[in-house]
Structure 1
């Protein structure tokens, strides 16, 4: 949830060009192709310049959206909260969001949302609490009363930190949460305006190499091991009106998720094209995993932990929010 989804650095917009091939005007083949194609052929997707979203850019570069009759415009969003408001209002058609933010927005009545594709799952050391080189903080218990940076409250970072602090008998009320964009956390840590920072790659590696910062705790262990972070969502109304568009998006993303999951070099190659991660850094950063299926059971873990840690008042049945992927053509 940096998924998330997670205010980060500016995204370099990349757009695929839609190519429509017609077989003779008025032919039955052309008519059937139009009838069977997506209802909405030009879609706007809310995105962030983070590793989680690499499969989208792989699909765009490979032309897999084009094969499905879709033209994709990638639009930078400030974070999941802003993006979900826009998704509910129709300003976005699809959005990558961290699961916690989507579930919270659904519970609060921001809109009704559906999950259409998984994107990113945590792995060891993909999201850590970092402290400065000369920090006297040695254990989680030492964080009591300290200033801890999150990119934004109410997202997967908030949940992961709360789960991690519980190991030391603490909660998020025992720390002072500071909302700081990921790119600015290193400077704040070096200046001493914060005591610790929760972040993922490439910021973990940058803090280690440039500041001598070190890991206090991996926040994706125990209850959050292999935790679902981010996935693709649509509004329920959009899905109802555009089922063929949703299915086309799902098929293109399924190919990309499979490639990202099986070939790290494909992810390394695409990261520098839409993030500020350089090629040499892309080869060494710690990456999470790219799930190849959309599992209600897996995402239910997020909702259940949110209830357990008081981020939700009552349980949400995630299975009601899932649109099963269609079979491959």
Structure 2
């Protein structure tokens, strides 16, 4: 079975919905294919205590402000899921759920999108699959020898499963800090980072991060010196739970260990620590395996882009993967502009 449309959007999370919103405004026929059974994208799989970095009004998709969450300055993941479900329904976005895309092929004037529910032929494709389905685990010596429990950020839910246990949390970014803060006081915590934690000033949240990312992209586009963007400000946003744990003296980072042993971890100086579990908060890679047949991926597994458009395949746009597809494009507030730009370019291509 083969179906036709002008544009296939792959992924129905925040980025796919933002693209669908702008395509609808431009009158472009499209379909949004999403592997998830229910709305909410990756947010529906987040750990229980996860909080946004910004107040609700500054964490919104185009056209619809996120309503505040009662009693919370920084909304939790469940609130985001409710917002995305409402957004999809409000704008009657053409999402088809439970559809898993396997491959995209060139097919003459079309791109053929293969799925487990049949093929789609489209004149353009917007990919918005994000990174959540591709957790990254570093090649640390001894990782396969360790006999305790190992899990990635995507598998962590709450501290209840680790009460009284000896837990090592690896990672000096926001996920590492938030999960370490979540476990502090519940588990015997060891937090390890490759460099000393760099907290952003307590009054900085996602609004400032978006501005910094945008300023960096503008400087690079204009041939000016790299401002450093978000990285110049720090690595960790001090959301209230992190700030509370830090100020209570519960967050002390140790340097990264040199290897894992059967029972725990060992540092370069020979110090050892026994651990019941290791939680890897070590980031993600873009989920782009469905483009293997197009042979577009280059250095670091990325597809070369001009804005959101793939340099070697102008019918393909990518949004929501990080700064390389738009400033802060992996955030709720940041994806609106790249989604708008991609939709406009696609509409122009379709003529």
Same fold (TM over 0.5): no
For CA contacts below 8 A with separation 6 or more, give which structure has more relative contact order.
Answer: 1
Bigger helix share:
1
TM-score by length of 1: 0.30
When the two structures are superposed, what TM-score results if normalisation uses the length of structure 2?
0.29
Q: In proportion to residue count, which structure has more strand?
A: 2
Mark the structure with the bigger radius of gyration: 2
